[in-house]
């Protein structure tokens, strides 16, 4: 369900492995004799948990085939949450939440990772020409995910940069990020 490019909060996956892989890729960038060049894009989804659209979560739950009763229960825990702040010992008026996942909730990282899988899927499906190989017979590496940080790799060209821009913009529209 969650691609191997995502390492955070996934059992038996280590963020350290991706750090080493990223170092190898950047080493390849330094020693590459590719005349057209290589490019990488780092996305840091600021306020990612607070901004993720609930419609994206609903879409993901349906796409992955979660049972309807479970999905509805999960959405009740996330949608239309109300907050109150204690100021000088008194509760403030309620503040309604309009998007996002609560930080500190044990489900939030997993829900966010499931939604960020939309970007991973889109990069694989629509970015067929993206990615680089560290060695001639090695796998093509398009991206690495670290919860709300993403590294995307490719050969440098205006066409690939525009394709990548479109993929990222579409992801932002889908999710509200």
Q: Is the pLDDT of residue 113 over 60?
A: yes
In a domain, 9, yes or no: no
In a domain, 8, yes or no: no
In a domain, 5, yes or no: no
Q: Is the pLDDT of residue 69 over 90?
A: yes
In the chain, % helix, strand, coil (3-state, to 5) comes to 45, 20, 40
pTM: 0.72
The whole-number pLDDT of residue 7 equals 62
In a domain, 3, yes or no: no
The whole-number pLDDT of residue 10 equals 65
In a domain, 2, yes or no: no
Q: Is the pLDDT of residue 107 over 80?
A: no
pLDDT in tens, 37-65: 888 888 887 655 556 677 778 888 888 89
Phi–psi pair at 81, nearest 5 degrees? -75, 140
In a domain, 4, yes or no: no
What is the tally of structural domains in the chain?
1
The whole-number pLDDT of residue 48 equals 57
The number of residues making up the chain comes to 177
On average, the pLDDT of the chain sits at: 79
Q: How far apart are CA 94 and CA 5, in angstroms?
A: 39
pLDDT in tens, 115-170: 778 888 888 888 878 888 888 888 888 888 887 788 899 888 899 999 999 998 98
In a domain, 93, yes or no: yes
Angle between helices 54-63 and 68-78 (to 10 degrees): 160
Structural domain including 73 reads: 15-175
In a domain, 6, yes or no: no
């Amino acid at each position: 369900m969650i691609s191997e490019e995502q390492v955070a909060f996934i059992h038996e996956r280590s963020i350290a492995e991706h750090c080493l892989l990223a170092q190898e890729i950047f080493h390849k960038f330094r020693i590459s004799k590719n005349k057209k060049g290589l490019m990488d894009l780092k996305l840091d989804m600021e306020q990612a948990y607070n901004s993720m659209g609930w419609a994206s979560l609903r879409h993901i739950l349906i796409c992955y085939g979660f049972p309807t009763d479970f999905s509805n229960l999960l959405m009740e825990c996330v949608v239309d949450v109300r907050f109150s702040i204690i100021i000088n010992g008194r509760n403030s008026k309620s503040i309604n939440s309009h998007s996002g996942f609560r930080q500190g909730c044990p489900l939030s990282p997993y829900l966010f990772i499931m939604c960020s899988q939309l970007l991973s899927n889109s990069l694989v499906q629509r970015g067929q020409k993206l990615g680089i190989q560290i060695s001639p017979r090695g796998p093509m590496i398009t991206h690495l995910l670290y919860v709300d940080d993403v590294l995307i790799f490719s050969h440098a060209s205006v066409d690939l940069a525009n394709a990548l821009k479109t993929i990222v913009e579409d992801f932002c529209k889908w999710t509200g990020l």
